[in-house]
Amino acid sequence: MKRRTFLKLGCASSSLALLPTNIFANSTKNSILKNAQVNTAAHWGVLQLSVKNGKLVDSKPYYKNKRYNDLQYYTQDLIYKNRIKYPYVRKSFLKNPNDNKPELRGKDEWVRVSWEDALKLVSKQLLKTRKTHGANGIFAGSYGWKSPGNIHNSRTLLHRFMNLTGGFVGSLGDYSTGASQVIMPHVVGSIEVYEQQTNYELILENTKLLVIWGANPIDTLKIAWTVSDEQGLDYMQKIKDSNIKVICIDPYASTTVKFFDKAQHIRPRPNTDTAIMLAMMTYLYENNLYDKEFIENYTVGFEKFLPYLLGKNDGIKKDITWASKISGVDEQTLIELTKSLKNNLSLIMSGWGMQRAHHGEQPHWAMVTLCAMLGHIGKAGGGFGLSYHYSNGGVATTNTPVVGGVNANLVGKWSNDEFLGIMGAKFDSNGHLIQGDEDESIKNTGQSWLAKTSDAAIPVARIADMLLNPNKTIEHNGKKITYSDIDFIYWVGGNPFVHHQDLKALRKAWQKPSTIVMNEIYWTPSAKMADIVLPVTSLYERDDISMSGDYSNYSIVPMKAAVNKYEESKDDIEIFYELLKYYAFYFSTQNNKDENYAATLAKKLQNAYLDNAKNSFELVEKYYSQALARTSLELPNFQAFWQENKALEFEATQDSFEFVRFADFIDDPILNPLGTPSGLIEIYSTTIEKMNYDDCKAHPMWFEPIEYLANTSNPSSFHLLSPHPSHRLHSQLCHTSLKDTYTIKGHEPCLMNPEDAKELNIKDGDLIELSNERGSVIAGAKLDEGVLNKVVVLAEGAWYDPDENGNCKYGCPNVLTLDLPTSKLANGNISHTALVNVKKYTGKKVKITAFTPPKGAK
């Protein structure tokens, strides 16, 4: 097989003799000790690892005085469980890449191949797609919570490779905040969801009422996009111990609700938050309780919004009675909530779940409008915040020099020579890539792949729609986007066959491209759906660097390799570096160039990819040293920092302890305007009005969701919520032994109200089946009185374990969710808008295979 494949790929070894060798070989082995204590970092914090005889035996938190975080103790499983050991190719694909039976993705047997053969195959397929479809035929948007390291950021490394070889179709936004990050710039001039928040010390000092609305920070503050500084949970404890009154608004008793055990818990029907907020606004207005001065000085469009609120243009007054019927929350509770928010300096900490719903643009727009009427925005400890539950927003920022990292763009001195010129890449006299909209001559000839990439990017959650409907045009935030006809997918650092909605539809869409390649650590559900799988190192097998605290910049953390690379796995940066060698050869062959040309091109591409560094470790040193050069602080040089292997911690500045979101704007809205067209908070947006969308108007509104409890006549319908899990980071850690602490009979737990369970003859610990027209899922029943009646809670992130019909045997909720956009404005996902039927599972015992390597894999 090796010989036949080798010959079929059409490359004799002598033809590659002149090409660059692998400079990454044994790049970390010399620095790894067989017996050592190694400090490193992950999304869930800084870790202390114990290595004995070259094997990781223990994982503990680096900081001993922080709240317990169960995610920090399972690093061994992340190194040794469910790993992809070697490069693999799907059997039908290997037999004939041109007739590869895509319907067998996820079912076919796998064949082990050499790294050389795998990289040749990827190169040839990528070049074939570029020749037949151009850059618009390649989707490399990828998506996922990749490594927190600054060097080994797999998604960035993929994009850098694709930019260097001719471009790709990318993606816009993210699944977490797809609706809010589009609507908020229209309302307050910034995305808000990833902005620093009013400092926690000011909350402890000034806030009288804290409303945690649709957020679960006790679970979500276990993690961060980079490395958690682990301070947010400490502040949650301080709030609990303070005199601040806490109200939690959530359809179920989350970990946070149970943590704040003395808090009032209000349980609305899912997807009805906007209706509640509108009713509260009506109450404030009709009882003359709203802050007229704030509305007049800091907002625009209130007078245009008011007729809708009072029902003068549709005959429906958005009052307390109206909202109570929709939300299921009694009228007196809503009135008392409104009065409490007005009469006390109040802060609303909002989560993102409410905007991952049909018409998800509306809740946070309504929340800003409500807070404007209350008049607490810009006060120390008042207003609203959309990022307290994420990455420790609200923790004071330090004066640390920021450590940079690899980016997707090419840098360095270049010329418009024939090598890169014939690929479509052009450079100015300073060696910078020329963007298509900056060079009309290139743009007009269609040679600027950068322009194509920008034009073809899709809202991230619309990938299945794009694959199923090539050349379809959609509306997006005032523009039109035409889907590309995707022939090649390259995915790294993510798990789409867990996080995307309506997975059976995605399975169908996944049959469309001719080639799907994945760089992956584990045999995830997504890896099993690829054609070519390349084994990647875990972050514990490579050297890197990061900073802890997305907002605080609390420390600079060395991420030192603890163990040798697992079996034949390689770093992503190494894979793309080597791939460039084979790509250069085949590219040269296609263009009738000789071996010397191919060798020169390969060297040039590889040097560009590494910014002329010798290897990836040199980049670690480079970015640390650059940060060191930008600060007047006395810090150790790189060699001392790396040898010491400890986090460099920094003190927060006094200014950051006094930071109040929107304070400068409130102090002087003329000198410190917001980034909106008016410079003010836009309750009414003329920009959105001009878009003339039927599903997102010029002011916050109540739109009935396509599926929710108040508009169904089916007595067996339950509203499915799929929040962030308590014991994972999305799908990360799902395959570790941590799952043994929470699964029920080997399945994901599903929370439901005991009264609902009794009616269905379901007992705690029974297996249940959740189903709708999209599919079915088997889960374990966990009865909880804190769950609202007719609501079930099945956390997202469970590994998809499809049966022969595509239904999930293990408990992945995204078999059941709708793959529809929030609206034409943002095209976010609506994972929290879904109705399901629930019954006791009485079928035959199922075999869980989600964590088993596929047929043919060793």
Catalytic positions: 143, 145
Q: Is the C-alpha dihedral spanning 609, 614, 618, 623 positive or negative?
A: negative
Is 777 within 8 Å of 794 (Cβ atoms)?
yes
Separation of alpha carbons 41 and 35, rounded Å: 19
The two structure tokens encoding residue 370? 């409500």
Separation of alpha carbons 817 and 856, rounded Å: 32
Assign 397 to helix, strand or coil: coil
The alpha carbons of the chain give a radius of gyration, in whole angstroms, of 27
Beta-carbon contacts of residue 261 (< 8 Å; ≥ 6 apart):
none
Separation of alpha carbons 513 and 575, rounded Å: 22
Q: Is the C-alpha dihedral spanning 736, 818, 721, 192 positive or negative?
A: positive
Instruction: Output the CA angle 508-514-518, nearest 5 degrees.
Output: 85
Q: Which ranges of 461-594 would DSSP assign to H, the alpha helix? A: 463-468, 496-499, 503-509, 572-590
Q: Which of 610, 531, 621, 534 is nearest to 569 (CA)?
A: 534
Q: Find how far residue 51's CA is from the centre of its chain.
A: 31
Separation of alpha carbons 286 and 45, rounded Å: 49
Give backbone dihedrals phi and psi of 692, rounded to 5 degrees, phi first: 60, 45
Q: Write the burial class of residue 78 (CB in 10 Å: 0-12 exposed, 13-18 middle, 19+ buried).
A: buried
For residue 473, the tally of other CB atoms under 10 A from its CB is 10
Is 110 within 8 Å of 528 (Cβ atoms)?
no
172-199: buried (b, 16+ CB within 10 Å) or exposed (e) per residue?
Answer: bbbbbbbbbbbbbbbbbbbbbbbebbbb
Beta-carbon contacts of residue 835 (< 8 Å; ≥ 6 apart):
707, 708, 709, 712, 714, 717, 718, 719, 720, 772
Residues in the chain: 858
Q: Which of 424, 379, 354 is nearest to 176 (CA)?
A: 354
**E strand or H helix that includes residue 247:** strand 245-249
**E strand or H helix that includes residue 55:** strand 55-61
Q: Which of 416, 423, 421 is nearest to 587 (CA)?
A: 423
Q: Which of 178, 330, 280, 309 is nearest to 702 (CA)?
A: 309
Is 851 within 8 Å of 82 (Cβ atoms)?
yes
Residue with tokens 């049966």: 803
529-539: buried (b, 16+ CB within 10 Å) or exposed (e) per residue?
Answer: bbbbbbbbbbb
Separation of alpha carbons 850 and 739, rounded Å: 13
For residue 666, the tally of other CB atoms under 10 A from its CB is 18
Is 545 within 8 Å of 580 (Cβ atoms)?
no
